[in-house]
Amino acid sequence: MTNNAPLLELREISYSYPGQNSPLLQNVNFKTDNEQIGVIGPNGSGKTTLFQIIMGLLQADDGKILLHGNTLETDKDFFRLRCTLGFLFQDSNDQLFSPTVLEDVAFGPLNHGATPREAREISILTLEKLGLKGFEERITHRLSGGEKKLVALATILSMTPKMLLLDEPSNNLDPTTRDRLITILREQELPHIIISHDLDFLASTCTRLFTMHNGQLLPCEEKELHSHEHVHPYGHKPHQHGT
Ligand SMILES: Nc1ncnc2c1ncn2[C@@H]1O[C@H](COP(=O)(O)OP(=O)(O)O)[C@@H](O)[C@H]1O
Ligand SMILES: [Mg+2]
């Protein structure tokens, strides 16, 4: 363990899916510590694949992943990483699998050694923090897309991660839920990496921007993140978005 080591580091990560002629990811080098990073890049450029490699859901052909300076090698190492990094899937249906919201949110804490009572308490608190009080017994698969996204976020926050990896979190959200998600992420004050095509969302939640280009993750220092004022029929009067 190196004390000054970054929380997460990728060294020379390369990856091809079977049958691909040229590598999708080619010698990706990246490190991050206490930062809020946005990642942009065309569809199919390998952003989701990179997240899956970091989380140990896919195995890189080459290269190393380091957590706090320690190279991850065994299943146990990746289990430890999954206690540290919370991964929000691009599609919430891939993340939610229990009949009720409470069971889904309690699954992580239970899996990481909490007692049923502790898992229930932390789940109720997490749902409350996300404005989902009263959702405990709701049937997960009947929730709206936006509700599913927030419940999926609750399933990772209930594990008290040190960093979040969010894959296109604002996709298909109505403006109210999108604003709520921005507020939640700002309040969490956790380091995160957010993949998104929504530049205003990234400007509201991130301080550095990277792009996935030709199989590499490159900083876009020349692009300054800034949010835009938006225009709509309600003018300057106080109003609710999405109404
Ligand atoms: N399981 C898979 N098998 C083969 N090819 C895949 C698989 N998953 C993704 N791909 C391909 O790899 C490329 C990168 O996918 P992905 O990482 O999802 O891109 P992004 O998230 O940047 O849109 C795409 O061309 C996609 O079709
Ligand atoms: Mg993707």
State in Å: Cα 40 to ligand 2 middle: 10
Ligand 1 within 6 A of CB of 22: no
Burial 99-126, CB ≥16 within 10 A → b, else e? eebbbbbbbbbbeeebeeeebbebbbeb
In the prediction, which pLDDT does 4 show?
Answer: 84
In the prediction, which pLDDT does 227 show?
Answer: 59
Q: Could you tell me if 195 and 39 are in contact, meaning their C-beta atoms sit under 8 angstroms apart?
A: yes
Ligand 1 within 6 A of CB of 52: no
The domain ranges of the chain are 8-219
In the prediction, which pLDDT does 235 show?
Answer: 45
pLDDT digits (tens, 9 = 90+) for 41-96: 999 999 999 999 999 999 999 999 999 999 999 999 999 999 999 999 999 999 99
State in Å: Cα 172 to ligand 2 middle: 14
Residue 99 has pLDDT above 50, yes or no: yes
**Cβ partners under 8 Å of residue 86, min gap 6:** 156, 157, 159, 161, 163, 164, 165
Residue 242 has pLDDT above 50, yes or no: no
Residue 170 has pLDDT above 70, yes or no: yes
- Nearest-CA residue for ligand 1 atom 25 is 44
Q: Which ligand is nearest to the CA of 90?
A: 2
Chain mean pLDDT for the chain:
91
pLDDT digits (tens, 9 = 90+) for 11-42: 999 999 999 889 999 999 999 999 999 999 99
Tell me the C-alpha to C-alpha distance, in Å, between residue 230 and each of 53, 56, 111, 200, 225: 37, 39, 43, 10, 16
Ligand 1 within 6 A of CB of 43: yes
Residue type, 30: F
Across 165-180, average pLDDT: 94
pLDDT class of 116 with cuts at 50, 70, 90: very high
Q: Which DSSP category does 215 fall into?
A: T
pTM: 0.90
Mutate to test the pocket of ligand 1, among 20, 24, 166, 196 (most ligand atoms within 8 A of CB): 24
Q: Rounded to the nearest 5°, which phi and psi values hold at 102?
A: -60, -40
How far apart (Å, rounded) are the C-alpha atoms in residues 34 and 103? Answer: 31
Q: Which ligand is nearest to the CA of 91?
A: 2
State in Å: Cα 166 to ligand 2 middle: 10
- The ligand 1 atom at the shortest distance from the C-alpha of residue 49 is 17
State in Å: Cα 26 to ligand 1 middle: 14
Q: Which of 153, 164, 89, 85 is nearest to 123 (CA)?
A: 153
Beta strands in the chain (DSSP E): 8-15, 25-32, 36-40, 62-67, 70-71, 85-88, 163-167, 192-195, 208-213, 216-219
- Specify the CATH number for 8-219; select among 3.40.630.10, 1.10.390.10, 3.40.190.80, 3.40.50.300: 3.40.50.300
